[in-house]
A and B are shown apart, each in its own frame.
Chain A
């Protein structure tokens, strides 16, 4: 975060910009801010003057140089994006354009979150790096391509269909678990707008013992690893384990009531001097 601050600063002020306590990921924002040792701010704490960003402290305005934002693009600046955003900072994009503040992730990076981009990753790697991907994708069928669309429609009851522009587990149909009506609904949506859809086989997510209302029971989970890219890239020795709190559910997203678990990385002391 310090590396990307506007030039010439020994000790740039980094902040984490959160939508606040009512966001489902607020706990994570607190955790990250604490581990990074940076102030956790909300939009109302920041103010832009002459294209420079400041935070309101008890001793007045303090300059801010890098913003790690956990706020979606459209809420960032009511002057540029959604005018009804109460969570953003008026003038923030102006300050960013003027080069006076760095925003991470950069505005527009949300496009990489699009599931259609995921589907093309193996081809992107090949095209730009002439390499094979080291970790393979989940087999993904792209409905904007005739072949993928046909395969998807022919096998709807075996596939998971996902809208490309959504996140948080919304709009997903899990074929093997869907009713006839749900499958027909998914079929209609895909036919109406094939570009908006991809499909994947249902992944047999692993389970772990989880404390639930009725006691300890199995719940599905997945692992999100994190890779930080600055001047160099490195993989964090840990990750986010997300867990579906509903019995049998494969939707682990926190915005749909999913929880998180500790992630343990077991280090081999013989080969590795430092434990994670």
Chain B
């Protein structure tokens, strides 16, 4: 007989809180990675192009202008690293993660809560000096490590009941989305017009993308010596073992949805279907074809599918979980709906 009393169930609100806490933190890590790689794309005289590319891949153009910024390297850094009024900035994401964590305190370990607080304070004390030159890369490293410490503590201390699956679902949806954005940064990067110079510049940029995704060494072990753009895109979109590849994330999502059904009788037919469609989208077309017809547009479609998958999970568990619910509440796709 089990020593546990009974299954206390999981409040829909708490499931949603776990999902979003994970998303916000994953967003912080990936934004730090993107900022780091953007700095390495800077070429003298063209800094603005490199940094404004970051605004474009995050689809933040309107938000950026509305906050009173203009396309300028220093402004973009401030927008993402200092501006608490920008909901997509790192301090804002950490604020949102911590607000969710507060509502989840009864469910999480003291160690998780303490680390989130320390990290939140660190991000609140970023200064303009931290964004200059070499200091910026060190700052990005600290931010990545902050999220990695969180992830590790969570892996080691969060109780593995239903709540854990929602945390993981949020994390993998966000990670898949962010990986597609990381690939997209190449789309906005400038290249010399042609010839050998262009080939070398392109290789350097792909290397930077791989490093941003922490995949450079693994890629080198498996790829051909003279690799092509197609190989890099394959590694980040379709490699079944690369921890940040979109395919690995989608497979984890499918397996978590399946576990929720198998272990807890929680079915989310629509979400499972959407995950299957997304997996097919990632695998069906030859990459050569995708690269020829436009990687950027393809990545856009993948992002839209991820948003629809997140919405389906929301409909199944957080908002309209009641079969008789008459008024389907709209689940906003990119940011959390707060009650």
- Once bound together, how far apart are the Cα atoms of A39 and B5, in whole Å? 14
Cβ–Cβ contact B102 & A56, under 8 A:
no
Given known A-B contacts A39-B106, A58-B317, A44 and B13 have beta carbons under 8 A apart = yes
* B301–chain A nearest beta-carbon distance, Å: 30
Contact A30 to B105, CB < 8 A, known contacts A59-B264, A60-B321:
yes
Check if B11 is an interface residue, CB within 8 A of chain A.
Answer: yes
- With a cutoff of 8 Å between Cβ atoms, the chain A residues found around residue B339 in the complex are 44
A20–B99 Cα gap in the complex (Å)? 11
Candidates A40, A41, A56; contact of B321 at CB < 8 Å: A56
Distance between B191 CB and nearest chain A CB, rounded to angstroms: 48
A58 touches B321 (CB 8 A): yes
Interface pair B6/A59, CB less than 8 Å apart: no
- Taking the closest CB of chain A, its distance from the CB of B326, in whole angstroms, is 14
Question: Knowing that A21-B102, A26-B102, A39-B8 are A-B contacts, what are 15 other residue pairs whose CB atoms are under 8 Å apart, sorted by A's residue number?
Answer: A21-B103, A30-B106, A34-B105, A39-B9, A41-B11, A45-B12, A55-B11, A57-B9, A58-B12, A58-B166, A58-B317, A59-B265, A59-B266, A59-B321, A61-B322
For B260, the closest partner residue in chain A by CB is: A58
Shortest A92–chain B CB gap in Å is 17
Q: Kindly state whether residue B117 has any CB partner on chain A within 8 Å.
A: no
User: Once bound together, how far apart are the Cα atoms of A59 and B9, in whole Å?
Assistant: 8
In contact, B106 and A58 (Cβ under 8 angstroms): no
Complex CA gap A21/B13 in Å reads 13
Find chain A residues with CB under 8 A from B317 CB: 58
Kindly state the separation between the CA atoms of A92 and B99 in the bound complex, as whole angstroms: 28
CB distance from B167 to the nearest CB of A (A): 13
Q: Mark A18-45, 1 if CB is under 8 A from B, else 0.
A: 0011000010001001100111111011
A62 at the B interface (CB under 8 A): yes
Contacts of B264 in A (CB 8 A): 59
Interface flags, A108-149, vs B, CB<8A=1, else 0: 000000000000000000000000000000000000000000
A57 in contact with B11 (CB, 8 Å): yes
Report chain B residues within 8 Å CB of A232.
Answer: none
Q: Bound state CA distance, A55 and B264, in angstroms?
A: 18
Chain A: minimal CB distance from B279 (Å) = 24
The 10 closest A-B pairs by CB, nearest first: A57-B9, A30-B105, A21-B102, A58-B317, A56-B12, A40-B106, A58-B15, A33-B106, A58-B10, A62-B9
Residues of chain A lying within 8 A (CB to CB) of residue B105: 30, 34, 40
On whether the beta carbons of B11 and A56 are closer than 8 Å, the reply is: yes
Is A11 interfacial (CB 8 A cutoff)? yes
In the assembled complex, the Cα of A143 lies from the Cα of B162 at a distance in Å of 57
Interface size on A, residues (CB 8 A): 23
Which chain A residue has the least Cβ–Cβ distance from B9? Answer: A57
- Which residues from chain A contact B162 at a C-beta distance below 8 Å? 58
Q: How far is the CA of A62 from the CA of B7 in the complex (A)?
A: 11
Q: Produce 1/0 per residue, B4-37, CB < 8 A to A.
A: 0110111111010000000000000000000000
Find chain B residues with CB under 8 A from A39 CB.
8-9, 11, 106
Closest to A44 in B: B339
Query: B246-270: which have CB < 8 Å to A?
Result: 264-266
Chain A residues near B266 (CB, 8 Å)? 58-59
Q: How far is the CB of A66 from chain B (nearest CB, A)?
A: 14
Mask, B148-174, CB within 8 Å of A = 1, is: 000000000000001000100000000
Residue of B nearest to A42 (CB): B13
A172–B6 Cα distance when bound, in Å, is 48
Q: Which residues of A contact B13 (CB under 8 A)?
A: 42, 44-45, 56
Judging by beta carbons under 8 Å apart, are B12 and A57 in contact? yes
Task: Determine how close the nearest CB of chain B comes to the CB of A114; give it in whole angstroms.
Answer: 32
Complex: chain A residue closest to B322, CB-CB: A60
Contacting B at CB under 8 A, from A37-92, are 37-42, 44-45, 55-62
B166 surroundings in chain A (CB, below 8 A): 58
Which A residues from 87 to 106 make CB contacts under 8 A with B? none
| Residues in chain A near residue B99, CB distance under 8 A | 21
Which chain B residues in 229-282 approach chain A with CB under 8 Å? 264-266
- Measured in the bound complex, the distance between the Cα atoms of B99 and A240 in whole Å is 26
Docked complex Cα distance between A42 and B103 (Å)? 10
The interface residues of chain A lying within 8 Å CB-to-CB of B10 are: 57-59
Which residues on B sit within 8 Å (CB–CB) of A59? 9-10, 264-266, 321
Contacts of B11 in A (CB 8 A): 39, 41, 45, 55-58
Q: Specify which chain A residues have a CB less than 8 angstroms from the CB of B9 in the assembled complex.
A: 39, 55, 57-59, 62
The closest CB in chain A to the CB of B319 belongs to A56
Question: In the complex, which residues of chain B have a beta carbon less than 8 angstroms from the beta carbon of A62?
Answer: 9
CB A213 to nearest CB in B, in angstroms, measures 16
Residue of A nearest to B166 (CB): A58
Min CB distance B179 to A, Å, is 28
Bound complex: CA of A11 vs CA of B6, how far in Å? Answer: 9
- Least Cβ–Cβ distance between B172 and chain A, in angstroms: 18
Distance in Å from the Cβ of B323 to the closest Cβ of chain A? 8
Interface residues of A in 218-253 (CB under 8 A from B): none
Q: What residue of chain A has the Cβ atom nearest to residue B267's Cβ?
A: A59
* A61→B11 CA distance, assembly (Å): 10
* Across-interface contacts of A21 in B (CB, < 8 A): 99, 102-103
Whole-angstrom CA separation of A11 from B99 in the bound complex: 32
Q: CA A26 – CA B113 in complex, angstroms?
A: 15
- Rounded to whole angstroms, the CA-CA distance of A61 and B324 in the bound complex is 12
A45 to B13, alpha carbons, bound, how many Å?
7
Residues of chain B within 8 A (CB-CB) of A58 are: 9-12, 15, 162, 166, 266, 317-318, 321
